[in-house]
Amino acid sequence: MTRFGKILVAATVAALLPLATVSADVTAIEGGHTLTKLVDSCEPEHPSQALLDSACATGDLAFIESIGVAPGPGKLFVQLTSRPDGEGSTPSSCIFSITPAGIATLINPDTGFATNSRGTDLHLDPATGLLVTLDIAGGTFGRLATLDPGDGTTGTFVELADGVVNGGGTFGADFSRGDGGTDAPLGELVFTTDVSGNGIYSSPAGGPASASHATPPEAGDDMVIQPDGDWIHFEDGDLITAYDPMPPHAASPSALNVSTIFSDAGLVFIFGNRATVCDATGDSYMSFSGNTGGTGIFRIDEALTTASHLVTISLPHGLQDLVVGPSTSEPGLSLFFTVHEFDPLPAGGGGGDFPANDTGCEEVWELTIPECDAPLFVELASLTAVRTKRGVRLDWTTTSEIGHAGFRVLRGRLQPDNPYKREVVEILTPELIPGRGDETRGAEYRFVDATELAPGSYVYYLEDVDVRGQATRHGPVAIEVVPPRKR
């Protein structure tokens, strides 16, 4: 969606700047935060980061377009688009993983995913362990695509129907928590798209996608789900709207105006909102990705009544996406965001909001957000293990879950020949079992270990993992496997 008047303002400012390929000027505005650059393809923090400018198989106009985070510490994922000049959608993308030490590893150099060049979410599905993003050209009318972060293989999350997305659509999504009486069950992906795809949809892995749950007054660039279940829709222009997750999805528009938020901070707003959420507080972190330099990051409180200026990114650099995840160097959470250098827009606006040349440095920055570190805990009421015909069955119950991502089940075997009785521990659930409780109510869970166990002494542990990736271990509960009786 083009805003030609606002683009000309940005073009006038950008045209005064010299062409250069330099690292970004990023400034923390609000006190109490630590700002760190993790990745710079032009001046690599680690030699592998130079690959971000050279390893994509689909051309040299690649730039970081979206960012995801694993549900535990130790891994970020970035998606780079590659497109001909002046076009809004891309013929393909490539995806990297990045460790806290800044080591970049290419996962797939040519995904075949056609994405919008200024806003496509990249999420890690906690149920399957697969990355999920939008592929505009996939299927008959587009699809939500998957990528295995282990081996780079691609697949389909769901095929989309006609009218859900079009060739220029941005994409925003979040996984449902199943709270607030929602008709999108726990684990379904709730998503919105830009331009003609004007609605909020949901889908489980494998589909089918729902009809539109709600029709916002303006097409959507991004959306997040707050801890209480509310859907927050960041529209293409000035509007932010909360939707009740319970049908008929009543809308509560925020009094905040996005253009005013930026202008009050001395920044120009183009369009193309990007957002992420703190699962502990419900605060959102918002910016825009209008493919032009000069922007800021703002914290929007859970009630959508106040905006706090956190970061300024100076011309000619701009932001492409942002996500909350475990900090790389200290306990707690950080805001990770991608930065790219844009050359000035062509005279007269040229190809809309798309710059004449965008081959600049690729950067990833980290901003600590201590305000997001609210108390997180799981109160466990019971944990039992019993042998059944199907295997060892674990049952557990919680009474309260705050900031909870999910559970991990581990099995240990006592070593009879070891005088210290040390155990060998194995993780039985590489992917988290999603948490279903909240602050006021718990939930009941069951897991069956169907492994054929040799005779011996075994113990089982349960780990609750919070949204920061920090784990708390419960147990053990013991099981004895005896040899079968001889007849």
Domain ranges in the chain are 4-372, 377-481
Strand, helix or coil for residue 4: helix
The letter for the amino acid at 267 is L
Q: Taking the model in full, what pTM does it have?
A: 0.75
pLDDT tens, the chain, 487 aa long: 222 222 222 222 223 233 345 678 899 999 999 999 999 988 888 999 988 887 786 555 567 778 888 765 568 999 988 655 444 556 788 899 999 889 999 999 999 888 876 678 899 887 788 999 988 877 778 899 999 999 999 999 999 887 776 545 678 899 987 878 889 988 899 998 775 556 899 999 998 988 889 888 777 788 999 988 899 999 878 899 999 999 999 999 999 999 999 999 998 877 778 899 998 889 999 998 755 667 899 999 999 999 999 999 987 778 888 999 888 887 788 999 988 876 554 443 333 344 444 556 789 999 999 998 766 678 899 999 999 989 999 999 999 888 788 999 999 887 666 544 456 678 899 888 999 888 788 999 999 999 999 888 899 999 998 766 667 889 889 999 888 776 6
Q: Which two tokens stand for residue 451?
A: 């492994």
Q: Is the dihedral of CA 226, 231, 234, 238 positive or negative?
A: negative
Give burial (CB, 10 Å; 0-12/13-18/19+) of 19.
exposed
303 CB-near residues (< 8 Å, 6+ apart): none
Domain topology for 377-481? Immunoglobulin-like (2.60.40)
Q: Which two tokens stand for residue 341?
A: 């250098």
Q: What is residue 3's predicted lDDT score, i.e. its pLDDT?
A: 27
Q: How far apart are CA 177 and CA 384, in angstroms?
A: 26
Q: How far apart are CA 187 and CA 178, in angstroms?
A: 7
SS3 content of the chain, % helix, strand, coil (to 5): 5, 45, 50
Q: What is residue 16's predicted lDDT score, i.e. its pLDDT?
A: 29
Domain topology for 4-372? Neuraminidase (2.120.10)
The pLDDT tens digits for 392-405 are 999 999 998 887 88
Q: How far apart are CA 415 and CA 424, in angstroms?
A: 8
Q: How far apart are CA 453 and CA 227, in angstroms?
A: 40
Q: How far apart are CA 113 and CA 155, in angstroms?
A: 10
Alpha carbon of 184 to those of 220, 432, 467: distances in Å? 18, 20, 21
**Residue 317 contacts residue 332 (beta carbons within 8 Å):** no
